[in-house]
């Protein structure tokens, strides 16, 4: 299955080169190794900011970029996840656009599959929470006006 959701405004070749691709998570990949996958060609949009969420995705192969307008949030590689906020925060639209920087293979995780994975492998839930926490801390560091050190 190929998701065809258009082309991004900026191609992967135009993206900043300093962003590191998220490292692999072999334990996460092992949970979904036999699941059907979606194929994205380089430049294809997986979902756009403002879209209604229906699932999250685990990257089996390739590289994706998470961005909002001209702002690049993160590049995600094999073992990484995207779209997780759509499952953990219901009734909110997508907060960013995700597109393939290279030809990529993804596993789609809907709400039922998410709950099954959590029940079968509680570490899956920890992995998702660690991803959300890491991304929040990155945004805090990036956009905090100045580092404040409070003394108690």
Provide the token pair at 113.
């599959």
Residue 24 — very low, low, confident or very high, per pLDDT cuts 50/70/90? low
What is the value of pTM for the model shown? 0.79
The label of the residue with tokens 């995705």 reads: 57
Total tally of structural domains belonging to the chain: 1
CATH of the domain at 115: 2.60.120.10
CA pair distance 49, 54, nearest whole angstrom: 13
Residue 85 belongs to some domain of the structure? yes
- How confident is the model over 101-146, as pLDDT tens digits? 999 999 999 999 999 999 999 999 999 999 999 998 988 888 887 6
Residue 75 belongs to some domain of the structure? yes
Residue 5 belongs to some domain of the structure? no
- Is the pLDDT confidence value at 149 over 80? no
Domain that holds residue 100: 12-143
Residue 50 belongs to some domain of the structure? yes
pLDDT of residue 21: 57
Task: Output the average pLDDT for the chain.
Answer: 83
Residue 27 — very low, low, confident or very high, per pLDDT cuts 50/70/90? confident
- Is the pLDDT confidence value at 6 over 70? no
């Amino acid at each position: 299955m190929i998701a065809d959701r258009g082309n991004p405004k900026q191609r992967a070749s135009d993206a900043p080169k300093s962003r590191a691709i998220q490292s692999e998570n072999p334990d996460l990949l092992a949970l979904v190794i036999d699941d059907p996958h979606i194929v994205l060609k380089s430049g294809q949009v997986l979902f756009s900011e403002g879209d209604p969420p229906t699932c999250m995705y685990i990257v089996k192969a390739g590289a994706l970029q998470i961005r909002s307008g001209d702002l690049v949030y993160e590049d995600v590689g094999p073992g990484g996840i995207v779209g997780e906020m759509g499952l953990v925060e219901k009734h909110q639209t997508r907060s960013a656009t995700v597109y393939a920087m290279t030809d990529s293979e993804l596993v789609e995780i809907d709400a039922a599959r998410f709950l099954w994975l959590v029940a079968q492998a509680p570490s899956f839930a920890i992995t998702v929470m660690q991803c959300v926490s890491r991304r929040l801390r990155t945004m805090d560091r990036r956009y905090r006006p100045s580092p404040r050190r409070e003394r108690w």
